[in-house]
Amino acid sequence: MKKISWGFIGCGDVTEVKSGPAFGKIEDSEVVAVMRRNAKKVKDYAQRHQIARYYTDADELIHDPAVNAIYIATPPNTHTEYTIRALEAGKPVYVEKPMARNYKECKRMVDASQKASLPLFVAYYRRCLPSFLKVKEIIQSGVLGKIRLADIRLHYPARPEDNNDQLPWRVRPEISGGGYFFDLASHQLDLLDFLLGSIREVAGHAKNQAGLYEAEDAVVASWEFKTGVLGSGSWCFTVHPSERTDRMTISGSKGSISFACFDDEPIILHTASGVQSFDLPYPTHVQQPLIQTIVADLLGTGKCPSTGESAARTALVMDKIVGRK
């Protein structure tokens, strides 16, 4: 490939600012076609973003000869199907997270990628954001000493839309695979995989406590990385607003580092030298740094750190946490 000509399957909210504009801001990358089942909405999106081709049928986009790479930005229940169809058509895929509803679906996607000898990338874009690259740099510098523990705390109050007749797809397991745990904790657990390596053993408990929807709304877990580092996490999506928490902490023999995964807050480093703060705000298009590595990977000039294999590891960990076999 000399230029990556993208086709989007799905062009909803995530593509408006987080991802969509980034594809056209990267050298040797462009968006040439988009697809959405709603004809009025896909036409509107294409016109607003100056994209010439638009479709209501995914297969038409996949087989468009002007498209040589596919970005899948639909809910997780369609990721496996669209990914496999695109790979079988000879086109590499970049798919939104969570990669799929469960590890079995992820495994099918990875197998299809290997069979087609084509790359599969997943939108765990925190692996390329400056703030989390700084965290990795600090860990690797040795300033924390030997890493001992990795802790996650994500506690959110219930959202108004969680208590009505039309629940958001993120809390409908048939679409998302679970509740907000699968939507949000996937980012955090993938980030730990990036920072500290893969998890060897994991156990957990998941429960629906508030009864607002069928999916789990409270989860606790513990794990061990292959390196011997231990970790724990708790997630609850129905706490009082005063208890809202977004915090990850990595502790070592000489210090600790703590940071938010979702809130745009400074990194806090504690060592014998004192407390240091690092403020590295998110870019306007948060997926752009990762997409840059994908384009480089496809052009043979670089390597993307978020693949089907790495994302499938996170899916397997999450399945084990909630007791899914």
Residue 285, token pair as written in the block: 């298009």
Instruction: Clarify whether residues 220 and 83 are in a common domain.
Output: no
Tally of domains within the chain: 2
CATH classification at residue 42: 3.40.50.720
Within-domain flag for 323:
no
CA–CA separation, 46 and 33 (whole Å): 8
Pairing of β 147-155 and β 230-236: parallel
Residue range 189-194: average pLDDT?
98
Q: Are residues 182 and 50 in the same domain?
A: no
Tell me, yes or no, whether 58 lies in a domain: yes
Same domain, 276 and 139: yes
One domain for residues 136 and 259:
yes
Please state the φ and ψ torsions of residue 134, each to the nearest 5 degrees.
-65, -40
Distance CA 217, CA 170 (A): 12
pLDDT in the model for residue 85: 98
The model's confidence at residue 1, banded by pLDDT at 50, 70 and 90, is: confident
Domain membership of residue 241 (yes or no) is yes
Report whether 218 contacts 209 (CB < 8 A).
yes
141 and 74 co-located in one domain: no
**According to the model, what pLDDT value does residue 306 have?**
98
Q: What is the pLDDT of residue 32?
A: 98
Whether residue 245 is contained in a domain is answered as: yes
Q: Are residues 134 and 276 in the same domain?
A: yes
Report whether pLDDT(14) > 90: yes
Tens-digit pLDDT profile for residues 30-43? 999 999 999 999 99
- Is 217 inside any structural domain? yes
Residues 159 and 245 placed together within one structural domain of the fold: yes
277 and 140 part of one domain: yes
Of all residues in the chain, the percent with pLDDT exceeding 70 is 100
Residue 177 within any structural domain of the chain: yes
Range of the domain at 272: 130-281
Q: How far apart are the first and last CA of the chain?
A: 40
Q: What is the mean pLDDT of residues 160-172?
A: 90
Specify whether 161 is located in the same domain as 38: no
Tell whether 68 and 191 lie within a shared domain.
Answer: no
- 32 and 165 in a single domain? The answer is no
In angstroms, the CA 121 to CA 109 distance is: 11
Any domain includes 312: no
Residue at 322 is within a domain: no
User: Tell me, what's the pLDDT at 163?
Assistant: 80
CATH of the domain at 210: 3.30.360.10
State whether 172 and 276 are in the same domain: yes
**For residue range 223-266, what is the model confidence (pLDDT) as tens digits?**
999 999 999 999 999 999 999 999 999 999 999 999 999 999 99
